[in-house]
Amino acid sequence: MTDGYRDRMLIRPTLRLQSIGFCIGSTFFFVGAVPGLASVMGALTTNIVFFIGSWFFTGAAFIQLLLAGPRFVAYKGSRAISAVWLVASAQFVGTLLFNVSTGAAITAHGTRSEQVNVWVPDAAGSVAFLVSACFAMLGLIRSHELMKLIYRDTISGWSNWLGCVAFGLSAIGGFVYANGATADSHLANLGTMIGAICFFVASIFYVGRAGEEPAGVPEPVEAGGLGTG
- The pLDDT tens digits of the residues spanning 213-227 come to 433 333 433 333 434
What distance in Å separates the CA atoms of residue 25 and residue 141, rounded to the nearest whole number? Answer: 28
Return left, alpha or beta for 68; rule: phi > 0 is left, psi -120 to 50 is alpha, else beta: alpha
Positions in the chain short of pLDDT 50: 1-2, 111-116, 211-229
The model's pTM: 0.77
- The pLDDT tens digits of the residues spanning 34-47 come to 888 877 888 888 88
Contacts of 176 (CB under 8 A, 6+ apart): 182, 183
